Amino acid sequence: MDELEAVLSRVRERVLPEAAERERLRETAATLTDRTREAIADLPVDADVVQVGSTARGTWVAGDRDIDLFVRFDADLDRAELEEYGLAVGHAVLPDGHEEYAEHPYVKGSHEGFDVDLVPCHDVERAAELVSAVDRTPFHDAYLSARLDDDLAADVVLAKAFLKGIGAYGSDLRTEGFSGYLTELLVLELGGFVPLVESARSWHPPVEFDPAGHAERTFEDPLVVVDPTDPTRNVAAVLSATNLARFQHYARELLAAPSEAFFEAEEPEPLDSGEVRAHLDRRGTTPVAVVFDAPDVVDDQLWPQLRRSLDGIVGGLNDHGFDVLRARAMTDAAGAAGDSADARDTEGAAERDATDEPTRAALYAELEVTERPAVQRHDGPPVAVRKHAASFYESYIDDVDPDTYGPFIDGDRYVVEREREFATVREYLESDAASDVALGAQVEPAFGDRDVLVGDAVATLAPAFGRPLREFYEPRP
């Protein structure tokens, strides 16, 4: 434990914001809050403004520069008016800002080097009465602010730095990791960062925590943390089983051999074409890629559709005998959705820099088999099963297809060998049959104009997809 505490002490010096950073953020937030109040005063309806998120609670990692201001309107205000007035305030406070979309539009911009989100919401009495998902965020802030002391807040920062370092932070639907709110609840529930990782190393999913002891339903997720402000909601619903397992793995690694490296996020360098070919030569498998224009939607709509499409294509490949070793969806965008969106990451809001929007997407798979015989075996029922056996036999006995062999008896059953629909993986991926699998609704139109790459040709993807290709061929735990 002495070695661990020495590591954590050094990490704290790096990840906890210094007094000057805290003061600058406080002053900037106060200026923006005053501006917001002035803009609200010009509206024909009442509203107030509250700062939320990690920078409001003192739980942000040094260098994060996010200020989240929520403008709360009367709960009876209809959606159209909330959007109208909310955007009016946002543009008044952030004249150079632009509109983004969570469950409804909000204004995002910058001021004095800080990234600022100005989000309208309804001022409901209880989180369970929310009108839109973002309405619960002020309740989250109030719950945590009342319970986190300075020591626990510092441990939250450690936990966030650790999760960022291992690549498991961010509840956007690309990452499917730990949200800021989830991280803070876990640190609060377990009593600190070290107790959290000590507990996590021995978890046997499903694991459930109910801080308020008020759950009103059951959940099927591997980690359940019942929202203390809403008894019907699992805060960890977005967290994937993979990222939960990753957290457990690195919790064990940290406790076994403490190192500052676990708290340092590293962006993988993109693979170049030569490195891709070297991996292909070493592995002796055949990769395929189906490449198409990425739908012009936010990440939290894009990634579920890409994963659904990948599942469909993988299922089709396996069904046609092209055994898939491993597969993943990729885009040519450099990074993930914003990891520091603590105020809205519990609501599934999409965060993406406009310069980081993907233009192309790829469904990438590595195959053990890419060519199959011209014929495939089709087993019928046992001959002893008279009715079904006779039906099978009669359906083929008059078949005049010269490429069909049988029916004949092999063992105790009828068998035919018939022409295979697709003998090569390219034939399948370029056919209409590949479009007949379950694809994402907005992927499907772009899929019709797809490019199919097989074998060494996938190396041409490296300039645009080099980072996800490195993640594919050099996976970390």
Please list, residue by residue across 388-405, b when 16 or more beta carbons sit within 10 angstroms of its beta carbon and e when fewer do.
Answer: ebeebbeebeeeeeeeee
Provide the pLDDT for residue 343. Answer: 46
Q: What is the mean pLDDT of residues 252-261?
A: 98
Q: Is the pLDDT of residue 180 over 70?
A: yes
Lowest mean pLDDT among 304-318, 353-367, 440-454: 353-367
DSSP string, 32-45: HHHHHHHHHHTSSS
How far apart, in whole angstroms, are the C-alpha atoms of residue 350 and residue 295?
Answer: 15
Query: What pLDDT, in 10s, does the model give residues 386-398?
Result: 999 999 998 888 7
> Is the Cβ–Cβ distance between 337 and 170 less than 8 Å?
yes
Q: What is the mean pLDDT of residues 460-473?
A: 97
Q: Is the pLDDT of residue 6 over 60?
A: yes
Lowest mean pLDDT among 88-97, 130-139, 143-152: 130-139
Residue 239 DSSP one-character state: -
Lowest mean pLDDT among 97-111, 118-132, 308-322, 351-365: 351-365
Residue 241 DSSP one-character state: H
pTM, whole model, 2 decimals? 0.89
What is the layout of strands, in order, in the sheet containing 286-293? Answer: 324-331, 360-367, 286-293, 451-454
Contacts of 103 (CB under 8 A, 6+ apart): 132, 133, 134, 347, 349
Provide the pLDDT for residue 337. Answer: 38
Q: What is the mean pLDDT of residues 66-84?
A: 95
Q: What is the mean pLDDT of residues 411-424?
A: 92
> How do the residues of the chain divide into helix, strand and coil, expressed in percent and rounded to 5?
45, 20, 35
Provide the pLDDT for residue 357. Answer: 79
Provide the pLDDT for residue 352. Answer: 37
Provide the pLDDT for residue 346. Answer: 38
Q: Is the pLDDT of residue 348 over 60?
A: no
Indicate the pLDDT class of residue 102, thresholds 50, 70 and 90: confident
Indicate the pLDDT class of residue 347, thresholds 50, 70 and 90: very low
Q: What is the mean pLDDT of residues 150-162?
A: 98
Q: Is the pLDDT of residue 336 over 50?
A: no
Lowest mean pLDDT among 10-14, 375-379, 429-433: 375-379
Provide the pLDDT for residue 354. Answer: 40
Provide the pLDDT for residue 334. Answer: 57
How far apart, in whole angstroms, are the C-alpha atoms of residue 181 and residue 242?
Answer: 19
Query: What pLDDT, in 10s, does the model give residues 210-239?
Result: 999 999 999 999 999 999 999 999 999 999
